[in-house]
Amino acid sequence: MSEVDTKAAADAPAPRPRRSPAKLVRTAAWLVLLVVLLALPLYLDAAWLKSGQYMMIGAVGAIGLTLVVGQAGQLSLAHAFFLLAGGTAYTVLSGPTGDDRVVGFGLDPGLSLLGAVVVAALLGLAFAPVAGRLRGIYLGVASLALVFLGLYFGQSAEELTGGTSTGRTPASFSLFGFPFTNDGPQFELLGVPIQQAERMWYLFLLLTVIAFVMARGAVRGRVGRSWRAVRDHEAAAAVMGVSVIRAKAGAFAVSSAYGGLAGAMTVLWFDILKPDESEFGTYGINVSIAFLAMVIIGGLGSVPGALVGALIVNGLPQVLALYSADLGWFSGTGDGALTPVLVSSFVYGAAIILVVLFEPGGLAAIGRRITQRRFRRQPPEEP
């Protein structure tokens, strides 16, 4: 080869690596799923759309929890507290001014939603000194104390939460002047009226997609690598230059922000902020355990797995409740009668046991194994 040919070969751009068939199939599957979710409001009634919105609330919260538990290796049982903090922050910030009973700042609902995320993140950052110095069950117990703190706060700060007897109604959500209620301009899409249920579906879907994309970016980036380094070996991570305390604090703050967003979505879904009267309720211990079940079933550290876990844990009670009316299920009376929530608890409790015994990686690991077997690299063909 001549000198000219050698120089031309050196200056030529390197060939782009070919994307694997498995990655192409996953990308296509995500696009198809997104198209289906965008089209569902045109075919489902309001009850099913309401159930889907509740699943998306669980998905957002589970994504945040899997970041701190699966990626950073910190056991947190405080997710219910941050749901209450986010819901309260949104309601207070967007609430009308001049009410003698409760406090309100009258801010734009879009800004209030962002403020709820920021407030929850700051509360998580305030817990960072504890999260940065504890690990395992000790951190879990310490974070569980926040749930009881939230219970006390919800009951005593009636000027913010409205109290356990009446609660308070949040401001209707609007974005850039467009209302997500039946008020305002009415329009149709492919002959289907887009009412409040459809509008809230698209709002929740937008928030879920944003939460998913940001989490995937964090996991694949430098932040995610620092979290996993701390999770795997704190001493080795410190030697490599990772600030262990800062990484733990950052993971907890990010997870808290996701919890705050899920809390604001919860208030919009219920159309009321009503603090719990006991430690079991909308913002109680049972909710923290349910979110932990989502990330365990889906696969610790897997962002797509968190979506599947939320679909099972938050979706199953909604589906059973909708079908029970038509099929006559759960019609018994008395203290021992089965309910959709009770049956769902049995189901995802059994799912956790099966995952721990047979597949610690959760449903995400099963999906990866199936994909790898299906698209196993073939030997190159002979010319």
* Token duo for residue 334: 């008395």
How many CB atoms within 10 Å of residue 118? 13
DSSP annotation string for 149-175: HHHHHHHH-HHHH-HHHH-BPPPPPEE
- Share above pLDDT 70 across residues of the chain, in percent, rounded to a whole number: 87
* Token duo for residue 107: 């801010």
Whose structure tokens read 């599947």? 308
8-17, 27-36, 259-268: range with highest mean pLDDT: 259-268
- Share above pLDDT 90 across residues of the chain, in percent, rounded to a whole number: 54
Whose structure tokens read 């080869």? 1
pLDDT at 316: 87
Rg from Cα positions in the chain: 23
Cβ atoms of residues 76 and 143 within 8 Å:
yes
pTM (whole model) above 0.85 = yes
Query: pLDDT tens digit string along 131-147?
Result: 878 888 888 889 999 99
Question: For residue 9, is pLDDT > 60?
Answer: no
The model's confidence at residue 380, banded by pLDDT at 50, 70 and 90, is very low
The model's confidence at residue 17, banded by pLDDT at 50, 70 and 90, is low
Number of helices (H) and strands (E), helices first, in the chain?
18, 4
Which uninterrupted H or E stretch holds 189?
strand 188-189
DSSP annotation string for 346-376: HHHHHHHHHHHHH-TTHHHHHHHHHHHHHTP
